[in-house]
Amino acid sequence: MEDINLHFTGDFHAVTSAHNMITALLDNYLYQNQASGFGLREVLWKRVLDVNDRSLRNVVTGLGGRSNGIPRESGFDITPASEIMAILCLAKDLEDLRRRIENILLGFTYEGQPFTVKDLGVAGAITVLLKNAVHPNLVQTTENTLAIVHGGPFANIAHGCNSILATKMAMTFADYVVTEAGFGADLGAEKFFNIKCRKAGIQPCLTVIVATAQALKIHGVAELENITRPDKESLVKGLKNLQKHLDNMNAFGQRVVVAFNKYASDTEEEIALVEEFCRQVGSGFAVNSAFTDGGEGAVSLAETVAEFIERQPSGPLTFTYRDEDPIPEKIAAVACKLYGAAEVTYSMAARKKLKLIREMGIGHYPACIAKTQYSFSTDPKCYGCAEGFKVHIKDLVINNGAEMIVAVAGDIMRMPGLPKSPQAERIDLVNGLIEGLS
């Protein structure tokens, strides 16, 4: 666990290096060619670092006089938001990886032409930096079950699924492959279906939605300090959140089993309530206590899942939008059908990007919406099942190599900040063992 959370096999570092190497090469190109008018009217490509650092969101680089580059407004995203990470996760093979790297859009020339990594002439070198990172990483659980860990986008700020290569590799090894697509089914599952499955041609047999009594109570608007106490009223109110997620999964054509993650504070009555709710809406239900009981605690869940699939696997996926829908229709489809929004609005910056997308003829890419994971809406404090809200698209990021359009909704940040009391103050190495890493 520690190794995976720390540097692991270095894939994140490789993505960071590859991303920033492109930026360095681009800035060098602009610097070396400034006298010849080969510059870019606009640079879209930024830098990444795998650290929560709000101070890096907006920076001016190239200061200090003419031997130190050309002053330019830029910024850093967190590494999981890197288009390189998305490419790594969506590439079919090394050749496809290279093709996608070539296609990365860096900016526009003064004549308004797209300028890509291919134009910069360095796709080969960047592919070299990623040649090992493209291989899925084999790990094992504490009970020695095989697991494949590969790729690191977060579904709130990026497409959020592990790599297609890892999933396909796993599918050659096992009868059942479980893949995580987390941060809320409105974020993770939506992108898993509409982006990853669409691109990889995967048809999942079943969706498991994880629920906890505590989260349901939060969505039933209980006070945070009370969620470990018995509170049927809040729990029942919170079920409308689960209901919306189940409806959404069904809209994809997916059958669903609810995995109820059991905590010590959960009462039998509460568990029974959720189970009854699931039966009524036609979803499966199983209690999962793997966190405390190990693999043994997940047997019931596994059996329920297997039973559901054997009885009747889900049919073909019904996507929320079609490839040929324009980007605003795609975003509206996800926002209105799945989130429950009434309307999607766009900033001036986003509208300019929509124009560029039309001009570049890349409106057929899927839309990858970056949004808070705490609410169906863009307001992290709007619990339950929000309705009738507006989704404001602050910016669109063209991922021409990953072949998707990232839509940044509400106040979500692609570079997080640290809290007042960061976890780092509590992490330590004591007698060679790490403490405080949660």
Site residues (CB under 8 A) for its own copies, limited to 54-113: 54-73, 75, 94, 98, 110-111
C-alpha separations of 78 from 55, 128, 158, 290 in Å: 12, 22, 10, 31
Binding test (CB under 8 A) with its own copies, winner from 41, 279, 322, 358: 41
Residue type present at position 157: I
Which residue, 232, 234, 242, is CA-closest to 277? 242
Nearer CB in complex with its own copies: 58/145: 58
- Which one-letter amino acid corresponds to residue 288? N
Beginning with the edge strand found earlier in the chain, give each strand of the sheet holding 207-211 in spatial order. 207-211, 256-261, 284-288
Nearer to its own copies, 19 or 159 (CB): 19
Site string for its own copies, 315-354 (x = CB under 8 A): ------------------------------x-xx------
Smallest gap from Cβ 61 to its own copies, in A, equals 4
- Pairing verdict, β 105-109 and 114-116: antiparallel
Q: Which of residues 379-408 bind its own copies (CB under 8 A)?
A: 392, 394
Size of the chain in residues:
438
Angle in degrees, CA 342, 416, 364, rounded to 5: 50
Applying CB under 8 A, which of residues 1, 4, 32, 147 lies at the interface with its own copies?
Answer: 32
Q: Applying CB under 8 A, which part among 37-45, 235-243, 255-263, 379-387 lies near its own copies?
A: 37-45
CB of 330 to its own copies, least distance (A): 22
Q: What's the angle, vertex CA 264, arms to CA 211 and CA 299, rounded to 5?
A: 60
* 178 binds its own copies per the rule CB under 8 A: no
- Backbone φ/ψ region at 28: left (φ over 0), alpha (ψ -120 to 50), beta: alpha
Contact between 427 and its own copies by CB under 8 A: the answer reads yes
Q: Which stretch binds its own copies (CB under 8 A): 43-51, 281-289, 325-333, 399-407?
A: 43-51
Query: Does the protein bind its own copies through residue 37 (CB under 8 A)?
Result: yes
CB closer to its own copies, 312 vs 345:
345
Tell me the closest approach of the beta carbon of residue 45 to its own copies, in angstroms.
12
Query: Which residues lie across from 108 on neighbouring strands?
Result: 42, 114
432: burial class by Cβ within 10 Å (0-12, 13-18, 19+)? exposed
Q: Which stretch binds its own copies (CB under 8 A): 122-130, 172-180, 225-233, 319-327?
A: 122-130
Question: Which residue, 362, 365, 359, 370, is CA-closest to 406?
Answer: 370
The alpha carbon of residue 24 and the mean position of all alpha carbons in its chain are separated, in whole angstroms, by 26
Long-range contacts of 26-34 (CB under 8 A, 24+ apart): 26/106, 26/107, 26/120, 27/61, 27/62, 27/69, 27/70, 27/72, 29/120, 30/70, 30/72, 31/62, 31/69, 31/70, 34/70
Binding piece for its own copies, criterion CB under 8 A, among 22-30, 147-155, 200-208, 224-232: 22-30
Applying CB under 8 A, among 113, 132, 145, 292 the residue interacting with its own copies is: 132
State the nearest-atom distance from the C-beta of 154 to its own copies, in Å.
17
412 binds its own copies (CB under 8 A): no
Contact map string, positions 2 to 21, toward its own copies, x by CB under 8 A: ----xx--x--xx-xx--xx
Query: Residue 275 or 395: which CB sits closer to its own copies?
Result: 395
CB of 336 to its own copies, least distance (A): 19
How far apart are CB 240 and its own copies at their closest, in Å? Answer: 28
